[in-house]
């Protein structure tokens, strides 16, 4: 019998962290690695946000924070929701945590009983099923297809719901496919949800500002405002404000749930760092103009990566409509052999081969629940994207 809890043995560490550690180790041994594996913007945090943090530190704002979040920041979140999302909330409906991941963790800790089901459209951000399992819940994967733009349809949702369903996790724009749900898509899902009052929805809107091709971001409540009593909005500053290392996220929803999440937080982390929360007030209320300029850079990089990847024989990807990842199909490269005679049997083998052979770090599709694919991040300079795609072409050419 293992000393470790049974449900912990079912949880895998994040594939992104494993790949980052492997790439770092190779770099330490002198290899030149192009990292297209991480889910973080390469842009620095804007200066006005850093200045706000330094000011808070100099003013000795270093005491314990209120566990649920600074009142000023909870208010700033409400201003942001009104300004960007056309939604009205009050500060009592807001909790601030150490990243959006912590918000998800707290919400599931606060609501799941053993065996409760959580519907997760697949491919998915790998932490969703892992966090559900950490709380002894049951992830119910609802497959989507490239033909549907990797979006969950109303019928798919209806099929996945059972009397044990507690949550649907909806992520738009989505990681890893960049799928963006339109208002009509969301209205269709809303209709199904209306018929199942036991099902709550967690809307992970962390990539909301990264939407391309003139599309407009919408969250479920824009299309189905009547579902508000069973929706938790999850968001954070890591992507839009280039602040992944600051660890700041927030959840917004019915006060009863927010209070239960507060309980979890008060007995675990005690909340996000005080001076980081002051910087977050500046991020949410200060200058927003850099977001548009950065998005334009992301769109150019997307176009470049899609064009170059599709030139590599055996690889194919569609232009993602949002976020900063290409989800690349690699079926045509399976069963080929490396120079040493190793067979590329699955996407994980291919990703390992790319790393060892040409120093390009990517994440295999199996980690996101759909194979054979791999995820490449275009949160990197055009030069890095060009070099990486040349190396992929090189590596592909060496396969027999």
The CA-atom distances, in angstroms, between 194 and each of 77, 144, 154, 258, 312 are: 27, 22, 12, 22, 45
Element (H, E) at 22: helix 15-28
* Residue 204 engages ligand PLP in binding (rule: CB under 6 A): yes
Q: CB nearer to ligand PLP: give 77 or 333.
A: 77
Q: Which residue bears the tokens 């913007």?
A: 41
Q: How far is the CB of 397 from ligand PLP (least distance, A)?
A: 32
* Residue 69 engages ligand PLP in binding (rule: CB under 6 A): no
* Residue 190 engages ligand PLP in binding (rule: CB under 6 A): no
Q: Looking at beta carbons, which pairs linking 258-264 to residues 24 or more positions away fall under 8 Å?
A: 258/68, 258/92, 258/93, 258/94, 258/95, 260/110, 260/111, 261/95, 261/97, 261/103, 261/106, 261/107, 261/109, 261/110, 262/67, 262/68, 262/95, 263/110, 264/105, 264/106, 264/109, 264/110
Q: Which residue is nearest to ligand PLP (CB)?
A: 99
* Residue 249 engages ligand PLP in binding (rule: CB under 6 A): yes
CA–CA distance, 170 with 242 (Å, rounded to integer)? 22
Sole window of 99-107, 193-201, 273-281, 288-296 interacting with ligand PLP (rule: CB under 6 A): 99-107
CA–CA distance, 254 with 251 (Å, rounded to integer)? 10
Element (H, E) at 117: strand 117-122
CA–CA distance, 95 with 253 (Å, rounded to integer)? 9
Pairing type for strands 231-236 and 200-204 reads: parallel
Q: Are 86 and 297 in contact (CB under 8 A)?
A: no
- Name residues contacting ligand PLP, limited to 368-387 (CB under 6 A): none
Count H helices and E strands in the chain, helices first: 14, 12
Q: How far is the CB of 378 from ligand PLP (least distance, A)?
A: 14
* Residue 175 engages ligand PLP in binding (rule: CB under 6 A): yes
Q: How far is the CB of 251 from ligand PLP (least distance, A)?
A: 11
Instruction: Give the interface size with ligand PLP as a residue count (CB under 6 A).
Output: 13
Reduce the DSSP state of residue 1 to 3 states and report it: coil
Q: How far is the CB of 174 from ligand PLP (least distance, A)?
A: 7
* Residue 244 engages ligand PLP in binding (rule: CB under 6 A): yes
Q: How far is the CB of 345 from ligand PLP (least distance, A)?
A: 28
- Name residues contacting ligand PLP, limited to 9-68 (CB under 6 A): 39
Q: How far is the CB of 8 from ligand PLP (least distance, A)?
A: 20
Site string for ligand PLP, 116-145 (x = CB under 6 A): ---------x--------------------
Among 35, 80, 101, 364, binds ligand PLP (CB under 6 A): 101
Q: How far is the CB of 38 from ligand PLP (least distance, A)?
A: 9
- Name the residues that contact ligand PLP, by CB under 6 A: 39, 99-101, 125, 171, 175, 204, 206, 236, 238, 244, 249
């Amino acid at each position: 019998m293992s000393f470790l809890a049974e449900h912990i043995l079912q949880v895998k560490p994040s594939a992104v962290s494993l790949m980052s550690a492997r790439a770092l180790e190779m770099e330490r041994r002198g290899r030149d690695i192009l990292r297209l594996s991480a889910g973080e913007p390469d842009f620095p945090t804007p200066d006005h946000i850093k200045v706000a943090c330094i000011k808070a530190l100099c003013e000795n704002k270093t005491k314990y924070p209120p566990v649920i979040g600074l009142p000023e920041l909870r208010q700033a979140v409400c201003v942001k929701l009104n300004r960007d999302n056309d939604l009205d909330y009050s500060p009592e409906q807001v909790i601030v945590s150490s990243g959006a991941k912590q918000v998800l963790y707290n919400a599931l800790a606060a609501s799941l009983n053993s065996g409760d089901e959580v519907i997760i459209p697949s491919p998915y951000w790998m932490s969703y099923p892992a966090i559900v399992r950490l709380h002894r819940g049951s992830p119910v994967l609802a497959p989507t297809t490239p033909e549907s733009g990797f979006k969950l349809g109303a019928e798919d949702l209806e099929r996945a719901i059972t009397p044990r369903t507690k949550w649907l996790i909806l992520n738009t724009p989505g990681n890893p496919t960049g799928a963006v749900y339109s208002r009509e898509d969301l209205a269709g899902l809303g209709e199904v949800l209306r018929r199942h009052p036991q099902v709550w929805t967690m809307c992970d809107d962390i990539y909301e500002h990264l939407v391309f091709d003139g599309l407009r971001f919408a969250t479920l409540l824009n299309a189905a405002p009547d579902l508000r009593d069973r929706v938790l909005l999850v968001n954070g500053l890591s992507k839009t404000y280039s602040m992944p290392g600051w660890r700041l996220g927030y959840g917004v929803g019915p006060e009863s749930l927010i209070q239960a999440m507060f309980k979890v937080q008060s007995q675990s982390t005690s909340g996000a760092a005080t001076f980081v929360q002051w910087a977050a007030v500046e991020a949410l209320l200060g200058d927003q103009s850099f977001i548009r300029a950065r998005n334009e850079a992301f769109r150019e990089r997307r176009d470049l990566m899609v064009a170059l990847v599709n030139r590599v024989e055996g690889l194919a990807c569609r232009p993602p409509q949002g976020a900063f990842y290409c989800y690349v199909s690699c079926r045509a490269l399976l069963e080929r052999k490396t120079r040493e005679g190793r067979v590329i049997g699955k996407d994980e083998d291919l990703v390992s081969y790319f790393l060892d052979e040409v120093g390009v770090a990517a994440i295999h599709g199996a980690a996101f629940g759909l194979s054979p694919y791999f995820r490449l991040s275009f949160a990197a300079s055009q030069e890095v994207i060009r070099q990486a795609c040349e190396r992929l072409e090189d590596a592909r050419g060496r396969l027999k």
